Chain A
């Protein structure tokens, strides 16, 4: 193994391992602040520059809070229940973090230093990067189950069971909505998908892309156990589920893993639907693409936080019904719509396309604007009507609740 290869591997991986945990710390602060403001509170505002008493004037809006939390977590007692499976109890948080960290390397972020290293080290250049992403995020389920089972606690086990059922169910709409993008690009390569959306050709600006993005985002919320799909870690129902028996740094690792998974899946959403690093000014200044990528990730995370502050938690039957009776049929219909739309756009020249170029862009060249507009409106209409119908069908048959005091 040559020294250059080792250097390249380090250059490719170490920045990821530094940047995202730092962003994680910042995000916890952001989330607490935003939720507090949503609930008419102030949020963390005390911890600032260390060693100044009470932070005082140097509290910096409580930006020191994540650091203080980390130190607190490190010094906390590590409690393992007497009947717990000690090995699995230890392994679960590690297993939760590894896949989340691993998939970060499939995000096509063009860090400036990444241009100098050889292609074989760039994981996102893999031809099957998108499939790999889904395969490895699926491992998260195992960690959750491991934690739930190893704790020997009924609430943990319930949380683990809920997590498996939820993640397995929502993985299907997640993958099916990513298929739309693969159809439009004709490649599973993350970098190619991002390049296909250069300029303003983001896939969210196509009707099926928009629908797929919404489905993807909802399923991503469920995959990362974010509110309103946070049933596996419902504090008020099963006292934090599989987290129940975790304390100290093991808990912190779980937390870190969860947030890194949030970054990763948001990053995939950005890659698939929001144009990757595309944005104004990228053509002139290539390093801006990194900024745009991270800004888009943070925009998605802000929406996640916003939703968490807004929506109440689903019931278990609603959760399952939503995945199987609403999202799944809708995403399959969406694939049909995207396929037929591509055929209509092509008008018989689908076979003569250049394989190395994104399919949708080739089809859009020289397409009749009227046909395109008609397709757009028709597809949106069909999707909306279908979603409405599915919504009516998949609703549980219950009487509307009668409120005594509200309204």
Chain B
């Protein structure tokens, strides 16, 4: 019962947050609404007893992605963005169609009652199990991903540094 109540409250917060994030003209308000959505999602993960995913949801999406968005907004002009431009694009009709199509496709298994694969073992979302999985079968994947991210980081740094060089040569101060 209490799980049900918590689920509905969190879902309502998530949906409202997502709606506000999309509809709000003020960019900063939009970003914070998005973060509320992320936080509610993390709460939903907690309800599913996936505490590690919940923590990572907060850590990565709010702590990193959200802050990155804020940084990007702060580094652009017209921070508030309170101008009267229309928010809905002209292709709203096709957008609606695509959204409906995606929704139907997602619901197809439920509608047609396709045979789902038998669940032989209940998934264990505990931190311990995750750790074992990450360190044994998926350790290669993890390392490759880490390497990729490091490469991206180094690439970004070099790209940012490379842009400065010609300027220094061109305009001696």
Contacts and interface: CB of A to CB of B under 8 A. Distances in A.
A313 B70 CA distance: 26
Interface residues of B, number: 24
Interface string A127-157: 1100110111011011001100100000000
A171 B67 CA distance: 13
B63 A128 contact: no
B70 A164 contact: yes
Interface in B46-78: 51-52, 54-56, 58-59, 62-63, 66-67, 70-71, 74
Interface string B120-131: 000000111000
B52 A138 contact: no
Given A128-B51, A131-B55, A141 B28 contact: no
B106 to A, nearest CB: 29
B40 interface: no
A142 B58 contact: no
B32 interface: yes
A24 B55 CA distance: 28
A18 interface: no
B52 A128 contact: yes
Contacts, number: 60
Given A132-B55, A145-B70, A127 B127 contact: yes
B58 A139 contact: yes
B74 A138 contact: no
A136 B38 CA distance: 13
Interface SS of chain B: helix, strand, loop or mixed? helix
B58 to A, nearest CB: 4
Nearest to B60: A135
Contacts of A134: 59
Interface in B24-38: 28-29, 32, 35
B28 A138 contact: no
B5 to A, nearest CB: 8
Contact of A149 (B28, B35, B55): B28
A126 interface: yes
B1 interface: yes
Contacts of A149: 28, 79
A139 B79 CA distance: 21
A19 interface: no
Contacts of A135: 55-56, 58-59, 62-63
A47 interface: no
Contact of A126 (B1, B51, B70, B74): B51
Interface in A219-242: none
A126 B29 CA distance: 33
A126 B128 CA distance: 11
B20 to A, nearest CB: 12
B89 interface: no
A258 to B, nearest CB: 19
Interface in A55-82: none
Given A141-B67, A164-B70, A131 B62 contact: no
Contacts of B88: none
A161 interface: yes
A191 to B, nearest CB: 14
Nearest to A167: B67
A304 interface: no
Contacts of B1: 1
Nearest to B59: A135
A138 B127 contact: no
Given A1-B2, A128-B55, A132-B55, A164 B127 contact: no
Interface in A157-177: 161, 164, 168, 171
B55 to A, nearest CB: 4
Given A126-B51, A127-B126, A188-B127, A138 B2 contact: no
Nearest to A171: B63
B134 to A, nearest CB: 13
Contacts of A171: 63
Contacts of A146: 32
Interface in B1-34: 1-2, 28-29, 32
Contact of A142 (B2, B56, B59, B66): B66
A5 B1 CA distance: 13
Given A88-B28, A126-B51, A145-B67, 8 more contacts: A88-B29, A135-B56, A135-B59, A136-B58, A142-B62, A142-B66, A164-B67, A164-B70
Interface of A: 1, 5, 85, 88, 126-128, 131-132, 134-136, 138-139, 141-142, 145-146, 149, 161, 164, 168, 171, 188
12 contacts: A1-B2, A85-B28, A88-B28, A88-B32, A127-B51, A132-B55, A135-B55, A135-B56, A135-B63, A138-B63, A139-B58, A164-B70
